[in-house]
Structure 1
């Protein structure tokens, strides 16, 4: 009976999501502009909430609480702080400029479109490189969402992980295939509310069950490094599983080192915001640049509260159930564990819908942007420039299916750690597009050659640092986003200084800045 009520709540939620997709299907499929960018018609609250929901994914309900549960507050806190600051700065300095400039630069409707039009390239090299990186990193991102769904149903109902992961992926694919950007953004708005309520509710019942926040903190003091900000809990593992003694999890007597370099590299999560297409697209899609201030305040408030709640859920879960989740992968189910143990079944089902909401709101964005990169930017932008809208739409939907199959294959490993998958893809976007976006919006003399050098060096360095340098340890054991971001910036500046700026590009830049100044004077 309990499982039936949980399932009923989740089925009702999924039916609402499908309904939204069907409602917006006709309008979304009228043109590629509507399908990929919603005709630049998003209101300020839909823009803000859908941006954050699509950004955070199941990571905020499973990945981040899992880190806090497994090793303590340190890693989770500095990551959350970096993301909170990054959210605010991105909305403050990038949003309005990009909304204005993307319209001036050929009414661009995708991020590769904007970069290509910004530099007035004819051979579409920038567009092709950007589209390929989007395809690579969003396929990885989508796989993390499918892992989330598989873990959710496997933990909740003890169903086979692989079957549940594939079933969840199929649901997301069908929904995205039907609805496009408008359906995605409107449902993401609703899903951001569900996610927010779920985080606050689960944290509330968890703290209540523990007898208050003070008992939680007192309980956690017995785990070395768990409540430190410059040291981190070091679980004693055997074959990846934390050991238990006297009904308590075993940690090393001395916390692992977490120095200033590590703190800075963890804070660098915030740099990723300048390059993630799912957020940048919302900036481009808002109907009125003057409404961005409302969006900024809404988005920042949502992010700060949600991230804080996610970290505290992990901490509270460890206090309540110290030996329940003994691997890094299993610890990411702490939100599910607390919901199912502490809430009535139907209400727990609604909380589980929060995980579905987070997963759907992100994976539909990832699939849609990746398929648009192939159809709009590679197929129409490079291979068949005369392709009509209906051809681009068809290629997009075929691509969506193919990307999904690859993402499903990557998600087959049940021991995948969501936090690690997301951190790699996040670094990829942050280093590939973040520096170029900032220089494109703020430096008039950025050249096409500098743009190409920055994208390639940043994207490639993410792989080099993650796979070759980071395993060496020591000072190299930092988050790959930070060094890759800096390398990209250096390449953009050096190569731009060595090459000549197109006068037409400078004229476009001046036009965009004049438009921006007019808007700022109206405030």
Structure 2
């Protein structure tokens, strides 16, 4: 216990120290939210990767879906690396950086407002982001709570409160600069901790090495060692939501706004992909052996969110458990900082400065952004201590609604001149309606217990439906003027050359 506490205290002190150091480099909104758009390859790639993988992945998804799918769950980690990182960077990074520079926009709602010449679209997207990122943040606090409860025996709500305060303090001090520097430090911890975690789990007597572990898994159910596992369709939905879903999440795309230049994009593409392959692959690989490690009995009276915490507490020595705790905290703090920054920005930048009070001075606007950081983490805290939903359900709800609504209008708006305003609105409506109707159908079947609904499946359908509807509607609705298209695309392409 003393070792774990010491490592935790060191991590917290470093985190706050980076926040204090970064405060000197924050002089305005551009510094606070985008780091002056001067982030290099390593910082941008690690910021993207650490924002991608949080305690939700390690505790919620890897544990629950590793239990259900066995070894095939590793496909999720592979999909995250290839689709969620490699293809996302190749397809979106350069165009996002160039177009957002040209249009002088800092947020996703500002992008929608400028690209589609629509104040209403800007307001609606801002409200959706603020409301539906709350459950995502809550899921991360919940994941940390389970991990710390298992390791330290403290009440979960107390742990969540401490983490909420820590997130608010270091982020309010240094904004994106603090978050990005911490991401680099945290990313190194995550890489080392993930590799050690795999080593110790595989060599634990309950597993007995890779070949013995696979044999024991097959003895429980031969489908658990199959290429696509016992539920291929559900596995496919998980891969789709957690991989393609990043293309529509504002906290992920935000990293492309802030990257320095095209050279940094090329290097960042490779770094982020390798990072995701190691972190995502390790998390899901470990989750695949949950049944073997725990004698095929779900801990905590059937609480799937406790699978990974109990596995690690059982397998790891104190020193390594301390490192893994720091790993989980690292993964989560970076995701939290991204979510809180993006959520506070949509109120202070998109709604207040962009709509309610356009002439507000920068100091007041930055103060407002810090205030809304506090409000957002407070809302997330109260949702995190809500007893009903499981971690994966909370995260899938956020990803499903936000990516379902935004992925197609953003992707086509960035890459295709023919995307119309009505086409983009149809994407918003389709993503939201699919999620709403899907939940309305499924919730009564399970007694309105959100944790029992396979929300990732509904989210995956929402994204696919939106990707189909937007181009179809755009082909038959009124096109933009040549002047508007030239303003958005032609100058951007010239600047990119």
- 1:433 counterpart = 2:402: no
Residue-by-residue CA offset, 1:88-146 (whole Å, 9 max, x unaligned): 111111111111111111x211111122122334xx11211111111122111111111
Structure 2 distance, partners of 1:413, 1:380, is 33
Say whether the 8 Å CA contact 2:108–2:250 is kept in structure 1. yes
Structure 1: gaps (5+ residues): 233-257, 519-523
Which structure 2 residues correspond to residues 147-296 of structure 1 after superposition, within 5 A? 147-209=142-204, 210-224=207-221, 225-232=223-230, 258-259=231-232, 261-269=233-241, 270-296=243-269
Matched with 2:43 is 46
Structure 1 distance, partners of 2:35, 2:226, is 45
- 1:493 counterpart = 2:471: yes
Which structure 2 residues correspond to residues 368-517 of structure 1 after superposition, within 5 A? 368-414=341-387, 416-468=389-441, 479-496=457-474, 497-508=476-487, 509-516=489-496
> C-alpha displacement at 1:174, in angstroms?
1.5
> C-alpha displacement at 1:69, in angstroms?
4.5
Structure 2 distance, partners of 1:179, 1:328, is 42
Q: 1:32 aligns with which of 21, 24, 29?
A: 29
Residue-by-residue CA offset, 1:21-40 (whole Å, 9 max, x unaligned): 11101222x11111111110
C-alpha RMSD of the superposition = 2.3
Q: 1:136 aligns with which of 119, 131, 155?
A: 131
Structure 2: gaps (5+ residues): 447-453
Say whether the 8 Å CA contact 1:82–1:266 is kept in structure 2. no
- 1:340 counterpart = 2:340: no
Matched with 1:62 is 59
Say whether the 8 Å CA contact 1:471–1:477 is kept in structure 2. no
**Number of residue pairs matched by the alignment:** 483
Higher alpha-carbon deviation: 416-425 or 197-206: 416-425
> C-alpha displacement at 1:315, in angstroms?
2.6
1:456 to 1:385, Cα distance in 2 relative to 1, 3 A: farther
In the superposition, the TM-score normalised over structure 1's length comes to 0.87
Which segments of structure 1 move beyond 4 Å, counting only runs of 4 or more? 469-473
Say whether the 8 Å CA contact 1:73–1:226 is kept in structure 2. yes
Matched with 1:321 is 294
> C-alpha displacement at 1:450, in angstroms?
2.4
**Which secondary structure does the structure 2 equivalent of 1:211 belong to?**
coil
Higher helix share: 2
Matched with 2:93 is 95
> C-alpha displacement at 1:231, in angstroms?
4.4
Say whether the 8 Å CA contact 2:67–2:290 is kept in structure 1. no
Say whether the 8 Å CA contact 1:470–1:478 is kept in structure 2. no
Residue-by-residue CA offset, 1:190-233 (whole Å, 9 max, x unaligned): 1122122111111101112233111111111121232234443x
Matched with 1:352 is 325
Structure 1 distance, partners of 2:342, 2:379, is 15
**Which secondary structure does the structure 2 equivalent of 1:156 belong to?**
helix
> C-alpha displacement at 1:414, in angstroms?
4.8
> C-alpha displacement at 1:85, in angstroms?
2.6
Structure 2 distance, partners of 1:173, 1:478, is 29
> C-alpha displacement at 1:489, in angstroms?
3.0
